[in-house]
Amino acid sequence: MNTATERLHEQFDTSRQQLKASKLGMWTFLATEVLLFGALFCVYSFYRFQYPQGYALGSKHTDVVLGTIETIILLTSSLTMALAIRAIRLAQRRTSIALLLTTAAFGVSFLAIHATEYVHEWHEHLFPGHTFDATLRAVSGTEMFFTLYYVMTGLHALHVTIGLTVLLVLVELTRRNRFSPTYFTPVELGGLYWHLVDIVWIFLFPLFYLVSRT
């Protein structure tokens, strides 16, 4: 028999206390995620002020249209994620599953668009290394810009992939009736992770696609 109730671990007195501890733990983990990307944002800032011309030139070679579409996709996926949690609260299980799957579909399309960007950039000789475009290399900082572009968007794409895995597990658990309007902690925590991945992209987008467009 499926039970949509919560198991209270022995160290907690009430399920309310257990929920609070879960959320505090998740936000602590998210703070470490902010700092994981933070170290890279710090490196980015250092070289941006060191090589403004290189960054401006490099940024002109990124695809601003695709970048904007990706931003819209991720922000919309945050909406569907928040609505999926709302649906569980209202005991609308089927709606919640549909919204979680929609969120996952947005995630997959984000990754697909990003993959086409990477392929295109490879053919344009924008990948750092011996194949890197010689005229671009002549301006110092351009190659560093693209190195950070691949490391930071790549690490972000890895996070989207992890988020997708979490979403699919949540879909399966919701399907098995594991959540109810009074207990849905794993969906809330998964949602927090998904939103954080969105927030990272909110900053990556202007820093890589919009350095110098005037």
Partner 1 sequence: MSNPSVRTLRLYLIVWLALMALVALTVASAYVKLSGFNLVTSMLISAAKTALVMTLYMELRREHGTTVVFALTGFFWLILMIAPTVADIATR
Name which of 60 and 125 has its Cβ closer to partner 1.
60
Beta carbon nearer to partner 1, 13 or 134: 13
Residue 140, interface with partner 1 (CB under 8 A)? no
183 three-class SS: strand
14 contributes a contact to partner 1 by CB under 8 A: no
Residue 94 binds partner 1 (CB under 8 A): no
Helices (H), 124-184: 134-137, 142-175
Q: How many residues of this chain bind partner 1 (CB under 8 A)?
A: 50
Q: Which of 3, 5, 8, 46: binder of partner 1 (CB under 8 A)? A: 46
Exposed e or buried b for every residue in 32-56, given b needs 16+ CB within 10 A?
Answer: ebeeebeebbeebeebbeebeebbb
Q: Would you state the structure tokens that stand for residue 103, as one six-digit string? A: 């969120």
Q: How far is the CB of 76 from partner 1 (least distance, A)?
A: 7
Does the footprint of partner 1 cover residue 205 (CB under 8 A)?
yes
CA dist 33 to 20, 88, 147, 156, 192, Å?
Answer: 20, 27, 20, 11, 12
Contact between 28 and partner 1 per CB under 8 A? yes
Q: Which residues contact 152 (CB under 8 A, 6 or more apart)?
A: 37, 40, 41, 44, 204, 208
Does 192 interact with partner 1 (rule: CB under 8 A)?
yes
Contact range with partner 1 by CB under 8 A, out of 5-13, 30-38, 116-124, 162-170: 30-38
Q: How far is the CB of 24 from partner 1 (least distance, A)?
A: 5
Nearest to 136 by CA among 58, 39, 26, 56: 58
CB of 134 to partner 1, least distance (A): 28
Amino acid at 163: G
Nearer Cβ to partner 1 (135/214): 214
Q: What length does the chain have?
A: 214
Cα separation, 210 vs 156, in Å, equals 18
CA distances to 127, 133, 137 from 123, in Å: 9, 10, 16
Using rule CB under 8 A, residue 134 touches partner 1: no
Residues in the site for partner 1, rule: CB under 8 A?
20, 23-24, 27-28, 30-35, 38-39, 41-42, 45-46, 49-50, 64, 68, 71-72, 75-76, 78-79, 81-83, 86, 89-91, 181, 188, 191-192, 195, 198-199, 202-203, 205-207, 210, 212-214
